[in-house]
């Protein structure tokens, strides 16, 4: 469920008509719903009760500080994968004790940043990283709390680019080597073992891959405890999918996921950490765009909108589907015709949908790309020198710009000329 509904024929975000936001901010614009973010976070928190747990929002899905603050104020932790994401979580007021640092390529500078600012745990991805982290922590007079990310060689069955738990993927260490690596970790002066980490991929629509991976995790936990390691936490990653189309597709509910976790892992008496991103924020956001032109081709018609692949790259990058709906609800019985919905970027890949049945939409009409709250604004770029899209957060009848659209002057000011071009050369 989300809070983007038609009222009196106009699509609203909670109690705010989307045309009101478009008029105030311009298009394209991302719009997020506070009520949806809060509802989806609470679904996960309730699903894991009464197990001790922490729901850590995957910041890579949506890193806007106002979004992070909304979730952090509800008690969410944060899963970060870069120094920048760590600083965003801290800027949102989330304490280090609720920040988990993941990521396959942590630098020394990032290690120092997290250890110095406070971190719940570091999810270590390799032996080389483990040794480097120990050296950094020991040099700071600290011991880094760690969970080793193990790769269970389980195919999540999702898109190839977002599967992370197969032996051919770059993430984690083979589960077969985990015991030896934990033995080494126990000897390192800057390391404190606190648990095990695992994440098998994103946009999973079945529970079977999770269960297969978690059973391997349970077996490993028993072996490591027998070896004398403290395994107090199990970090299960994220990955639960959402329906991107208004179809009969029905990914598992958080309650179903929680029941499976309790059944498979509940006997271990561990604190459970999960790192959902998409399911919390995906349906909490829409991208609102304006129609620029209708164009009639030889064998198809095109609807050219002012959003482009640089604003929402998922369709171009993954072949992903987003429902596209008119902001002004068509009258009952309005005929629909297939059109290609495209943007103005000079790439044939700048196509959001092919032959999508839509009602007549002339220049100036507003459309909303649903389920755009995850991996939308965070993956945006300024390709074709198009300024980044602004972001708006709605709460009830109020809305505020939480990231402004840069002006062209601001965008150009980041470029500088070398002295031999600017007349400053001696």
DSSP 201: B
- Same domain, residue pair 91 and 78: yes
Contact 71, 57 (CB under 8 A): yes
CATH number at residue 225: 3.20.20.10
- Same domain, residue pair 70 and 199: yes
Instruction: Give dist(CA 88, CA 80) in Å, integer.
Output: 9
pLDDT value, residue 424: 61
Contact 323, 347 (CB under 8 A): no
pLDDT value, residue 249: 62
346 as an active site residue: the answer is yes
Q: Are strands 16-17 and 191-197 parallel, antiparallel or unpaired?
A: unpaired
Q: Is residue 423 part of a domain?
A: no
pLDDT value, residue 233: 98
Residue with tokens 């898109």: 159
Q: Are strands 10-13 and 4-7 parallel, antiparallel or unpaired?
A: antiparallel
pLDDT value, residue 364: 97
> Concatenated DSSP letters for 250-265?
-PPPHHHHHHHHHHHH
Alpha helices in 310-374 (DSSP H): 314-318
Instruction: Give dist(CA 188, CA 144) in Å, integer.
Output: 10
Q: Is residue 206 part of a domain?
A: yes
pLDDT value, residue 163: 43
The count of domains in the chain is: 2
CB neighbour class for 179 (10 Å; exposed up to 12, middle 13-18, buried from 19): middle
The counts of H helices and E strands in the chain are: 13, 21
pTM above 0.75, yes or no: yes
Q: Is residue 418 part of a domain?
A: no
Instruction: Give dist(CA 156, CA 168) in Å, integer.
Output: 13
265 is written with which tokens? 């892992």
Decide which of 281, 312, 334 is a domain's last residue: 281
Q: Is residue 312 part of a domain?
A: yes
Q: Is residue 341 part of a domain?
A: yes
CB neighbour class for 259 (10 Å; exposed up to 12, middle 13-18, buried from 19): middle
306 is written with which tokens? 């002012």
CA angle 93, 99, 100 (to 5 degrees): 160
- Same domain, residue pair 43 and 24: no
Decide which of 281, 315, 334 is a domain's last residue: 281
94 is written with which tokens? 């989330």
DSSP H or E stretch at residue 161: none
Q: Is residue 421 part of a domain?
A: no
Instruction: Give dist(CA 413, CA 410) in Å, integer.
Output: 5
Query: 403 - beta bridge partners?
Result: 391
261 is written with which tokens? 């976790």
Rounded average pLDDT per 10-residue block, the chain, 426 residues: 94 98 98 98 95 97 98 98 98 98 96 98 96 98 97 59 46 89 97 95 86 94 97 94 70 92 96 96 97 94 97 94 97 96 96 97 97 97 97 98 98 94 67
Decide which of 281, 301, 330 is a domain's last residue: 281
- Give the structural domain span for 185: 34-281
pLDDT tens by residue, 176-229: 999 999 999 999 999 999 999 999 887 888 899 899 999 999 999 999 999 999
The interaxial angle of helices 83-91 and 65-73, nearest 10 deg, is 60
- Same domain, residue pair 169 and 235: yes
- Same domain, residue pair 12 and 73: no
86 is written with which tokens? 């760590």
CATH number at residue 11: 2.40.37.10
Choose, from 56, 270, 281, 346, the residue flagged as catalytic.
346
- Same domain, residue pair 190 and 227: yes
């Amino acid at each position: 469920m989300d809070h983007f509904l038609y009222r009196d024929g106009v699509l609203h975000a909670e109690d705010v008509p989307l045309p009101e936001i478009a008029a105030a901010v311009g298009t394209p614009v991302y719009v997020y719903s506070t009520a949806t973010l809060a509802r989806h976070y609470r679904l996960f928190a309730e699903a894991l009760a009464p197990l001790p747990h922490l729901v850590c929002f995957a910041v890579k899905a949506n890193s806007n500080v106002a979004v992070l603050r909304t979730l952090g104020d509800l008690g969410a932790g944060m899963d970060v994968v870069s120094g920048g994401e760590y600083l965003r979580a801290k800027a949102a007021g989330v304490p280090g004790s609720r920040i988990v640092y993941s990521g396959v390529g942590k630098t020394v500078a990032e290690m120092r940043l997290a250890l110095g600012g406070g971190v719940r745990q570091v999810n270590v991805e390799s032996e080389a990283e483990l040794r480097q982290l120990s050296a950094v922590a020991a040099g700071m007079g600290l011991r880094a709390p760690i969970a080793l990310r193990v790769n269970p060689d389980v195919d999540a069955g999702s898109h190839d680019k977002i599967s992370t738990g197969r032996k051919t993927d770059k993430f984690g260490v083979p589960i077969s080597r985990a015991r030896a690596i934990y033995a080494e970790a126990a000897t390192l002066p800057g390391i404190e073992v606190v648990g095990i980490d695992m994440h098998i991929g994103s946009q999973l629509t079945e529970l079977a891959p999770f269960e297969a991976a978690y059973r391997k995790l349970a077996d490993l936990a028993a072996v490591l405890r027998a070896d004398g390691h403290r395994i107090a936490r199990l970090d299960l990653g994220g990955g639960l999918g959402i329906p991107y189309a208004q179809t009969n597709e029905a990914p598992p509910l958080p309650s179903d996921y929680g029941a499976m976790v309790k059944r498979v892992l509940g006997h271990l008496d561990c604190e459970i950490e999960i790192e959902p991103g998409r399911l919390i924020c995906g349906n909490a956001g829409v991208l609102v765009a304006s129609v620029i032109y209708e164009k009639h081709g030889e064998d198809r018609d095109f609807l050219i909108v002012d959003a482009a692949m640089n604003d929402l790259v998922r369709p171009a990058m993954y072949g992903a589907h987003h429902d596209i709906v008119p902001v002004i609800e068509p009258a009952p019985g309005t005929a629909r015709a297939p059109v290609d919905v495209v943007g103005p970027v000079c790439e044939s890949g700048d196509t959001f949908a092919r032959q999508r049945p839509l009602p007549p939409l002339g220049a100036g009409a507003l459309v909303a790309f649903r389920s755009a709250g995850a991996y939308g604004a965070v993956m945006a770029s300024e390709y074709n020198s198009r300024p980044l899209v602004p972001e708006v957060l709605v709460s009830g009848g109020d809305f505020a710009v939480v990231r402004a659209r840069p002006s062209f002057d601001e965008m150009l000011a980041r470029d500088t000329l070398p002295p031999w071009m600017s007349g400053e050369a001696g």
